[in-house]
Amino acid sequence: MGIATAQVCSMRQVATMVGSPRIVTGKSVLHPVGDPILDLAGERALRRRILLDALKALESDGSRDAA
Amino acid sequence: MESFRIVHYLNQFFGQLGGEAAAGAPPQIKPGALGPGRVLQGELGEGFEIVATAICGDNRFADAPEAAADELVGLIAEFRPQLVIAGPAFNSGRYGQSCGTLCAAVQDRLGIPAITGMYEENPGVEQFRRRILIVRTGATARSMAETLRNLAALTRRIAAGEAIERPADAGCFPHGLKRPVVREENAAKRAVDMLLKKLGGEPFATEVSVPSFDRVAPAKLGAPLAAATVALVTDGGLVVRGNPERMPNGYCDRFTTIPVSGLERFTTDLVEAHHGGYDTQFVNQDLNRLVPLDAMRELEREGAFGRLHETVYATAGLGMSLTNARKIGREIGARLRQEGVQAVILTST
């Protein structure tokens, strides 16, 4: 029995190809949960949104991609 | 009847010149079989003779491969072999380079076949499999006995004048060549026949191979999220500042841990990103862009999930072999299970 996992990443096709079950789209390969052109408040909000998607994905059964 | 003449190539270690200290040994040749060559001679039996053993230090070869190969080919030619066998090199990178380069040079300059043996992850496989026959071996010299048997079997086929059309059928890595073949039936019929067999549960042979990744059934969250312990994991190369565990920036076979108990957010005095596969400048300005500790703490306070696990697990994903990925994944999973974690958010670069 494994551990439910949500993966935040930008290269969705690679993740899908290897069978990663709960894929959440990250911002960029270079900063999956950040964005240097935003100010800190903007980045925190971005992180929060991505994490809420990831938490929601964790509650799913993993049979389809989350967001 | 004259024996089939073979020259064997070994590095300084298997050629019994010494260990790393002898890695600078110059190209040289000695009559007869040496070391593993003696076992190989035994496997080959009558009608085959290892007439000489060529040796060169791995470092000496690596420093000037063309020159070393040239010199060795010159020495080998004197013994008029019909085949050269190099190594086997198993997973040794430098030795694999020497064996591959030498075999290619022998084939080009002496016009005789040259074969070697390597483990699938040896970089020499990708580099040389198109040009020479490389027998598949295990990762270490523990598979020496079996490898020598396989090299002997291949030698017998070559000596009998057999053209090895499909290297994969001879225990070797495929050349990766595409040869046009005319089939009796057209592709549409062949594809439908294949599909019908597949649907009917009968065996069928694919015409195109795709790498297969084992499918793991997704685990379900065992507890309600509001009660769950969630851990953060990354393959973006997060390490404790200064990299005290000397994590490599790629080709990892292990992971590291970063304690985050009581920590509200990552700061650059505590952690850094060490990864050779992407430009880490942005995450190194703010590591929360890689592993979102600050936002997780906020959500933890709000009760969006139970609690944040006190350890972040990290490795660098650059060039990670599937074998190592599985190993690391299982090890981290076992630790998390033991530590009472119900869910993971993995941030990947």
Residues of A in contact with B279 (CB under 8 A): 30
| Cβ contact, residue pair B279, A48, below 8 Å | no
What is the reported pLDDT for B214?
75
What is the reported pLDDT for B212?
65
Percent of chain B exceeding pLDDT 70 equals 99
| Cβ contact, residue pair B299, A48, below 8 Å | yes
- Tell me how far apart the alpha carbons of residues B162 and B94 are, in angstroms, rounded to a whole number: 31
Average confidence score pLDDT of chain A: 91
A 10 A CB-CB count for B118 gives 32
Say whether the peptide bond before residue B88 is cis (omega within 30 degrees of 0): yes
Q: Is the pLDDT of residue A67 over 70?
A: no
What is the reported pLDDT for B15?
96
| Cβ contact, residue pair A32, B213, below 8 Å | no
- Tell me how far apart the alpha carbons of residues B241 and A31 are, in angstroms, rounded to a whole number: 19
Residues of B in contact with A12 (CB under 8 A): none
- Tell me how far apart the alpha carbons of residues B186 and B188 are, in angstroms, rounded to a whole number: 6
Strand order in the sheet with B4-11: B28-31, B48-56, B4-11, B83-90, B114-119, B133-137
- Greatest CA separation for chain B: 87
What is the reported pLDDT for A65?
54
What is the reported pLDDT for B114?
98
Q: Is the pLDDT of residue A64 over 90?
A: no
DSSP B79-123: T--SEEEEEEEET-HHHHHHHHHHHHHHHHHH-S-EEEEEETT-H
Backbone angles phi, psi at B265, to 5 degrees: -160, 160
What is the reported pLDDT for B216?
86
Instruction: Output Rg (C-alpha) for chain A, integer angstroms.
Output: 12
Say which of B215, B233, B349 has its CB closest to residue A29: B349
Mean pLDDT of the region A18-40: 94
B4-170: what fold?
Rossmann fold (3.40.50)
Instruction: Give tens-digit pLDDT for B190-237.
Output: 999 999 999 999 999 888 766 667 788 899 998 899 999 999 999 999
Of the two residues B228 and A19, the one the predictor is more confident about is B228
What is the reported pLDDT for A14?
85
If pLDDT is split at 50, 70 and 90, which confidence band does A16 have?
confident
Residues of B in contact with A1 (CB under 8 A): 219
| Cβ contact, residue pair B299, A55, below 8 Å | yes
Instruction: Give tens-digit pLDDT for B19-29.
Output: 888 999 999 99
| Cβ contact, residue pair A58, B299, below 8 Å | no
Residues of B in contact with A11 (CB under 8 A): 348
- Tell me how far apart the alpha carbons of residues B341 and B339 are, in angstroms, rounded to a whole number: 6
Domain boundaries, chain A: 7-59
Domain boundaries, chain B: 4-170, 225-347
What is the value of pTM for the model shown? Answer: 0.56
What is the reported pLDDT for B349?
93
Q: Which one-letter amino acid corresponds to residue A56? A: K
| Cβ contact, residue pair B289, A44, below 8 Å | no
- Tell me how far apart the alpha carbons of residues B199 and B191 are, in angstroms, rounded to a whole number: 12
Q: Contact at 8 Å (CB) between B86 and B101? A: no
Nearest to B88 by CA among B103, B76, B107, B110: B103
Instruction: Give tens-digit pLDDT for B141-157.
Output: 999 999 999 999 999 99
Q: Which residues, in sequence order, are CB contacts of A55 under 8 Å at separation 6+?
A: A6, B225, B230, B299, B304, B305, B345
> Which residue numbers in chain B have pLDDT < 70?
209-212
Interchain CB contact of A13 with B (< 8 Å): no
| Paired tokens of B181 | 């073949």
| Paired tokens of B196 | 């019908």
Residues of A in contact with B222 (CB under 8 A): 4
Burial B75-113 (b: 16+ CB within 10 A, else e): bbeebebbbbbbbbbbbbebbbbbbbbbbbbbbeebebb
What is the reported pLDDT for B21?
87
CA distances from B320 to A18, B19, B237, B251, B263 (A): 14, 29, 12, 5, 30
- Tell me how far apart the alpha carbons of residues B232 and B246 are, in angstroms, rounded to a whole number: 21
Residue B35 Ramachandran class (φ > 0 left, ψ -120 to 50 alpha, else beta): left
Q: Which one-letter amino acid corresponds to residue B286? A: D
Q: Which residues, in sequence order, are CB contacts of B331 under 8 Å at separation 6+?
A: B255
What's B172's DSSP letter? B
